[in-house]
Structure 1
Amino acid sequence: MSATMIKMVLALLLVTLVRSEWCIANYTCPDPVLQHGLDWACANGADCDKTLPGQPCFLPNSLKDHASYAYNSYYKKFKTQGATCNFAYSGILTNVDPTRRICSNKSNLSLRALPLMGNKMCALCYMNFVP
């Protein structure tokens, strides 16, 4: 690959990273509110099957993480049609990559304090790129 092509790819990647945003669960919300938002997102088009046991995005297995996945899935799928990241005020938009917190969580034995993108499946789940 030529140096010019590499520069173009890096510039495109930088623009993509700068504009990235995620819709995640507001971790200060009580569990019943997050559960309601999760149920709503899953019933209205979020791809929640990937967070079921045995599926690639099941871990970390917590309501907050599953709600974040569902919120982001719904938001990415429908934002061009006017969807917001609200979920009864339990969703928040962030431009901070949530995979840094989730995918390097020392308390989760299956992830073992991996650096960002170290657990590629976890990172892919949060970016909603899992086939």
Structure 2
Amino acid sequence: MVAIHHLPLASARGQWCVVSPSATDAQMQANIDWLCSRGHVDCIPIKPGGPCFEPDNLRSHVSFVMNQYYQFNGRADKACYFDNTGIFVFKDPSYGDCEYDY
């Protein structure tokens, strides 16, 4: 079971930012569009052939790029807000060859 805590929380060691289970498809797509179209993060890993493409679903892809943004911005709590669609997890969400930044 993954521990999930909603904002605000102090940034801590072993903390990742992922999309909330309650986020809608439209919210998730808006997050990906904002992060990938403006060069805020490297979206190549979630493209076909990338290590984080599988599983090929919006929730997996957006969680990966939201975490990249959060980590790049010094793990600041506000860098995981995303219109209240970001949450913190304390178990590494990496899987297979898809490694979430920390």
TM-score range, shorter chain: 0.7 to 0.9
In 2, Cα distance between equivalents of 1:79 and 1:44: 17
1:28 to 5, 22, 33: 22
* Pair 1:80–1:56, CA change in 2 (3 A): closer
When the two chains are superposed, the root-mean-square deviation of aligned CA atoms in Å is: 2.2
In 2, Cα distance between equivalents of 1:41 and 1:19: 24
Tell me, yes or no, if structure 1 residue 67 matches structure 2 residue 44: no
In 2, Cα distance between equivalents of 1:81 and 1:96: 18
Letter in 2 for 1:63: L
Tell me, yes or no, if structure 1 residue 58 matches structure 2 residue 32: no
TM alignment of 1:1-131, pairs within 5 A: 19-42=13-36, 43-79=38-74, 84-99=79-94, 103=95, 119=96, 121-122=97-98, 124=99, 126-127=100-101
Identity of aligned residues (%): 33
In 2, Cα distance between equivalents of 1:53 and 1:71: 18
The alpha carbon displacement at 1:28 in A equals 1.4
The structure, 1 or 2, with the larger RCO (C-alpha pairs under 8 Å, 6+ apart) is 2
Letter in 2 for 1:23: C
**SS of match in other structure, 1:87:** coil
Q: TM-score, normalization: structure 1?
A: 0.60
Structure 2: tracts of 5 or more residues without a match: 1-11
In 2, Cα distance between equivalents of 1:76 and 1:56: 18
- Cα shift readout 1:34-71 (whole Å, capped 9, x = no counterpart): 11011112225111111101112111111000000010
Letter in 2 for 1:84: A
